[in-house]
Amino acid sequence: MTMIQVPIQKPLDIPNLSKSELKELIQAQGELQQDLFRQAREVRQQAGVDEVLLRGVIEISNYCQKNCDYCAMRAANPKLNRYRMAAEEILEIADQIAQMDISILFLQAGQDPQSDSVVEEVIPEIKRRYNFPVLLCMGERPQNVYQRFAQLGADSYILKFEVSNPELHRDIIHTPLERRLQCLRWLQEAGFEVGTGNIVGLRGQTLDHLVEDIRLALEIQPNFVSSSPFIPNQDTPLENIGCGNLDYTLNTMAIYRIALKTPLIPTVSALEKIQPDGQLMGLNAGANVMTINFTPPEYREKYSIYSKKRFIVSLDHALNTIERAGLRLKVLS
C-alpha cells in the first residue's frame, strides 16, 4: 500500500516521516522517484549549493588494520600487494592538482597508523604552498591523532558509519559501531568538518536497516554525506553477493539532500561502475561533488576499495557529466 501521494505537493518533512513512509521513499520508482529527485534538486538550488565541487583524491596507502568484509584492503587479505606513498610523491601530485579547477585536496588511506608521519609532513606543506582545503579519510584513530591532524591544518575528515545497525555493523566491520560514533564526535570536537554515510546492499541489510542509516545520518548533522552501492570485491567474504541496488542508493542520496539541505553530497564512482551514467544520475538526485582520481597508475589497482576494475574518474569525465546534468563547476575564488 502506498502512503505518499504523487505528485508530492509539499516539501517532504523527512525527520517526521514514519518508518513505512521512509521505506516507500527508499524504494521509490517511476513518478514518485522523479518527484523525489525534483525536490532534491530544488532543495539544492534553494540552499545555494548547486555548483559542483571537485575533489582531487590521492590514495596514499593501502595498508589497513581493519577487516571489513566488503573491502579487499582488509588486513586479512594476503593476496593484496601493499604500498605506502612517500611525502615527496604526494606533494608532486598536489602540485599538479593545484593547477586545475579542483577545490579540495583529498588524502585517503586504509586505517594505517604508519602513514601518520607522512601525512603530518604533507599537510603543513600543502597549506604553506596553496590555498587548498585538505580533506582526510584515514579511518578510526585515537583522539590525539585527530587533534594533531587538525592542528597541522587539515580541514575536514570523512568517516562513514557504513552500516548503522549495531549488530550488522559488528557482523560486517568486526568492531563496535559505538567506537566509530565516538571517533566522529572526536573529529567534530577537534574542529573538523565531518563527512559520513552508508553503503547500500551489504549482506543481511534490510530496508529497516536503511531507514536506520538515514536517521543516524540526520542525527550526526554532517557537513557531507554519501551513499554508495555495494560492489562485490574479489578476495573478500562478500565476493559472491550481488551489487547494491542503484535506485535505493540514489533515493537515499535524494533523501539526505532534502533532509539536510546544505551538505556536500558526492556522486561516487561506484554508481558509474554499476551503470554507465550512474554519476549523472547521482547529480540528478541532488549530489554536488565529484572526486577525481590522482593516484599514480601503478598504485591504483592496489587500492581495491570497490573492485580491481573500479571506475577511475578523470577530469574530462567529471566535466562532461556536470555539463550533461546542466550544472556549473564551482571554482575557488
Cα–Cα distance for residue pair 126/104, rounded to 1 Å: 11
Nearer to ligand 5AD (CB atom), residue 32 or residue 177: 177
- Calpha distance 294→52 (Å, rounded): 18
- Interaction of residue 209 with ligand 5AD, rule CB under 6 A: no
Q: Is residue 305 part of the contact set for ligand 5AD (CB under 6 A)?
A: yes
Task: Tell me the DSSP string of 218-231.
Answer: HHH--SEEEEEE--
- Grid cell digits, residue 227: 551513499
Which are the contacts of 95, defined by CB distance < 8 A and separation ≥ 6? 129
The residues in 269-298 that bind ligand 5AD, with binding defined as CB under 6 A, are: 270
Is residue 57 close enough to count as binding ligand 5AD by CB under 6 A? no
Whether the CB-CB separation of 64 and 303 falls below 8 Å is answered with no
As measured in angstroms, the least distance from the Cβ of 61 to ligand 5AD is: 13
The CA distance from 323 to 310, in Å, is 23
180 marked among binding-site residues: yes
Contacts to ligand 5AD from residues 118-177, by CB under 6 A: 160, 162
Taking the complex as a whole, how short is the minimal distance between the CB of residue 4 and ligand 5AD, in angstroms?
A: 28
The SS3 of residue 108 is strand
> Would you say 39 or 139 has its CB closer to ligand 5AD?
139
Cβ-in-10-Å burial (0-12, 13-18, 19+) of 306 comes to: buried
Specify the residue for cell string 562513514. 160
162 annotated ligand binder: yes
Instruction: Decide: is 194 part of the binding site for ligand 5AD (CB under 6 A).
Output: no
CA–CA gap between residue 232 and residue 197 (Å, rounded): 18
Size of the site for ligand 5AD (CB under 6 A): 12
Region 90-129 residues binding ligand 5AD, contact defined as CB under 6 A: none
Question: 137 a known binding residue?
Answer: no
Torsion of Cα atoms, 71 then 77 then 79 then 84, to 10°: 70
| Residue with smaller CB distance to ligand 5AD, 233 or 252 | 233
Give whichever of 233 and 267 is closer to ligand 5AD, judged by the CB atom. Answer: 233
> Which residues are CB-contacts of 109 (< 8 A; sequence separation ≥ 6)?
59, 60, 61, 62, 63, 115, 119, 137, 138, 139
Site for ligand 5AD in 215-234 (CB under 6 A): 228, 230-231, 233
- Is 59 assigned to a binding site? no
Instruction: Pick between residue 85 and residue 270 the one whose CB is nearest to ligand 5AD.
Output: 270
Judged by CB, which is closer to ligand 5AD: 70, or 192?
A: 70
> Is 68 one of the annotated binding-site residues?
yes
Kindly tell me which residue out of 60, 64, 70, 303 binds ligand 5AD, with binding defined by CB under 6 A.
70
Residue 291 labeled ligand binder: yes
* β partners of residue 162: 198
Q: Cβ neighbours of residue 194 under 8 Å, at least 6 residues apart?
A: 156, 157, 158, 159, 184, 187, 188, 220, 222, 223, 224
Report in angstroms how near the CB of residue 77 gets to ligand 5AD at its nearest. Answer: 12
Q: Least distance (Å) from ligand 5AD to the CB of residue 144? A: 23
Binding footprint of ligand 5AD on the chain (CB under 6 A):
70-71, 160, 162, 199, 228, 230-231, 233, 270, 305-306
Feature table: binding site for [4Fe-4S] cluster? 64, 68, 71
Binding-site residue positions for S-adenosyl-L-methionine? 162, 180
